[in-house]
Amino acid sequence: MSKYLIAPSILTADFGKITDEVQAADAAGPLIWHLDVMDGHFVPPFSFGTQIIKAVADATDNLVEVHAMIAHPTEHFDAFIESGASRIIFHYEAAMEAPKLGGPGLGETVLRAKEAGNEVGIAINPGTSITEIEELLPEINQVTVMLIRPGWGGQQMNPELLEKVTRLREISDKSNLSLNIEVDGGVKSHNAKLCIDAGANILVVGSAVFNAESTPQESLTEIRKSLN
């Protein structure tokens, strides 16, 4: 595991030239592609489906992870993997609501994600304690700690939530889990080092990479410089 990896989210990229956008960012160095799939139910916005996942996967040799901000995640795991995703991240909160809707519970959702693909992660919202997922940590590859309310771009990162990251890293190190700890929400060049210092090793970045002020290469270079 490298010290850290940047994971660009494509929500603010130009979908009309997504191959060019992906390859431009790839040219700036090693990274992970973080694809936010939103269904308009678990979170109000709707983003994109498997066609965009496939387009990104076809354009890169880097790992593609799908962040499923959706109410019925298990129904789509196979489609995500078939489209090119290597890691599926589902929300703890969605898995806890699923049994009320006739779906599987938290543990079964982890099992189904592992059956569908190689790696599985659990995302937790700002109001969710890490104690809710602690016993499942040996069974998963990653925890994604939301530093904002999910589903809405342009929010500022809440640095108090980095306490979760520090605690997760302590648990991972103590138990020799080699857990990926990802942070998502409001990560920019001015606060990225705070996340790394707290114990994160994957930083999700969106508008900090795809914006009108700079190219993806320039933006990624600026973020990496801020971590030195």
Q: Which residues are catalytic?
A: 36, 184
Give the pair of three-digit tokens for residue 76. Answer: 């789509």
3-state secondary structure of 134: helix
- Phi, psi of 46, deg, nearest 5: -115, 135
d(CA 26, CA 20): 10
Cα dist. 69→46, 74, 174, 216, 225 in Å? 10, 12, 30, 25, 31
d(CA 121, CA 92): 10
Q: How far apart are the first and last CA of the chain?
A: 18
